[in-house]
A and B are shown apart, each in its own frame.
Chain A
Amino acid sequence: MTEPMIRMLLRGLGETMVMTFGSGIFGFVLGLPLGAVLFLTRPEGVLEHKIVYRLVSAVVNVFRSIPFIILIVWMIPFTRIVAGTSIGVLAALVPLSVGAAPFVSRMVENSLLEVPHGLIEAARAMGATPLQIVWKVLLPEALPSLVNGASITLIALVGYSAMGGAVGAGGLGQIGYQYGYVGYDTVVMNTVLVLLVGLVFLIQWLGHMISRKTDHRK
């Protein structure tokens, strides 16, 4: 492999990481509050509210059912408004974040459901406001599970970002597509695969470690 080739692969790895972690962060910024709203307003929830729950739930389901490759194309006009362009890493962050947010919100809802109900009740009895229940009880108690969910999300995003590569998002996906599918260079294609596998392993390992560190239940 030539030096320019190696440099290109490293840049691709960098771009993939920026897309994965960048959209992961934005996905959480959007998805975490949505997940908390789903949990709080669900039937029998702390702030039970049928209309809000059904509305948010429906929006989340709609976005989750759009295949990612179509979401990218469908969102191009919006992406142009937000990022100024529809090509490149920065532009890819827009559909990736929007794709991740509903996924994250369901995952957050599930993690919060695992928190023993007695803890919420005790917090209510001590005079905690709904916001304090979320900040001081639900999120800290669900942290190990949220971290696990975050690594699942990030791994899914590695795959999504590679898919984005097919339509000009850059990153390892684009290199793999151009050199592998279009040019059929097996060395480059396999190197891309090895790098992607390595990235997934790294995320999984980090997630596992952080989750264990934050878990005081056993």
Chain B
Amino acid sequence: MIELKNVSKKFYKKRAVVSALSDISLRVAEGEIFGVIGSSGAGKSTLIRCINLLERPTAGQVIVDGKDLGGLTPQQLTLARRDIGMIFQHFNLLSSRTVAQNIAFPLELSHTPKKDIDRRVKELLTLVGLESKAQDHPVSLSGGQKQRVAIARTLASHPRVLLCDEATSALDPETTLSILSLLKDINHRMGITILLITHEMNVVRAICDKVAVISEGRLIEEGEVNEVFARPRTELTRRFISSAQHFVLASGDGLVLNKEGGGYD
């Protein structure tokens, strides 16, 4: 569903050239939840922004849903982006619009008839459990509620892929869990492929099928989450694992905090 082939990204500063990504290749299969973990400055933000070409790679190919995005005209790219959802650490909701109007935004972009917009917005408000907040402005919402609106907004245009750029990093642990379980639920019910980046191993452990570790712009380890947790091959991965405050997936449909032994584990 998502394929990166030998992607590199260099930033040209006044004198120096900064290499943010070096020769990255990865594949995310349809319906998978794929996590990329790394410390700040490792290049993970650049990586996720290269997938919808918010950042254009200096070299390499980005293929999403069979389309080589680098080869598209600006107009085609704009259309292709409507099939790629994205949520952000700081939510990026429009302050001038109500919750319902925020969710309607991508549908307005594609000139959806008003009647269809209203129906879809209602559906999505129910999905994220914010029916009662439809007419409120984002300023009156909590962080978790804002991220729910952002998720509803990005799902409005039925994307096949969802990119999560540190989507839970600005949230407290409890809210993080509720957002993660919402993402898992969406992935389950709609079969949306999710690629998320994070600096927290517990996020990976909670919902990801596969994980890749990024360091200094290179992928240094990649595999099934269970596999990587059981047999980490690099020192950095071991450190991420040991620093993780585990979230434990409950047997039911939600996620719960495991409070045994202090902290979250």
Contact = CB atoms under 8 A, between A and B. Distances in A.
Bind each other:
yes
B81 A127 contact: yes
Nearest to A139: B96
Contacts of B109: 126-129, 132, 136
A6 interface: no
B78 A127 contact: yes
Contacts of B137: 216
Interface string B96-114: 1100000001101110000
Nearest to B80: A127
A136 B96 CA distance: 10
Contact of A216 (B92, B95, B110): B95
Interface residues of B, number: 29
Interface stretch (A21-29, A116-124, A176-184): A116-124
Contacts of B97: 140
Contact of B139 (A119, A121, A216): A216
B54 interface: yes
B79 interface: yes
Contacts of B54: 121, 124-125
A137 interface: yes
B90 A217 contact: no
Nearest to B163: A125
Nearest to B110: A127
A126 B154 CA distance: 7
A118 B90 contact: yes
A218 B139 contact: yes
Contacts, number: 65
Contacts of A203: none
B264 interface: no
Interface residues of A, number: 22
Contacts of B157: 126-127
A132 B75 CA distance: 13
Q: Which of A123, A127, A132, A137 has the most CB of B within 10 A?
A: A127
B213 interface: no
Contacts of B88: 118, 121-122
Contact of A136 (B75, B105, B138, B139): B105
A191 interface: no
Contacts of A116: 92
A215 to B, nearest CB: 8
B187 interface: no
Given A121-B54, A121-B92, A143-B96, A126 B139 contact: no
A124 B90 CA distance: 16
Contacts of B139: 216-218
A214 interface: yes
B94 A124 contact: no
Interface in A126-150: 126-129, 132, 136-137, 140-141, 143
Contacts of B163: 125
Contacts of B194: none
B152 interface: no
B96 A214 contact: yes
A83 B252 CA distance: 77
* Of A123, A140, A141, A216, most B-chain CB atoms within 10 Å: A216
A125 B96 contact: no
Interface in B56-106: 75, 78-82, 84, 86, 88, 90, 92, 94-97, 105-106
A125 B69 CA distance: 13
A140 B95 CA distance: 9
A116 B96 CA distance: 13
A193 B137 CA distance: 43
27 contacts: A116-B92, A119-B94, A121-B88, A121-B92, A122-B86, A125-B54, A125-B84, A126-B81, A126-B86, A126-B105, A126-B109, A126-B154, A127-B79, A127-B81, A127-B157, A128-B78, A128-B109, A129-B75, A129-B78, A137-B94, A140-B96, A214-B96, A216-B96, A216-B138, A217-B95, A217-B139, A218-B139
Given A124-B54, A140-B97, 10 more contacts: A118-B88, A125-B52, A125-B86, A126-B109, A126-B154, A127-B81, A127-B110, A136-B108, A136-B109, A218-B139
Interface of A: 116, 118-119, 121-129, 132, 136-137, 140-141, 143, 214, 216-218
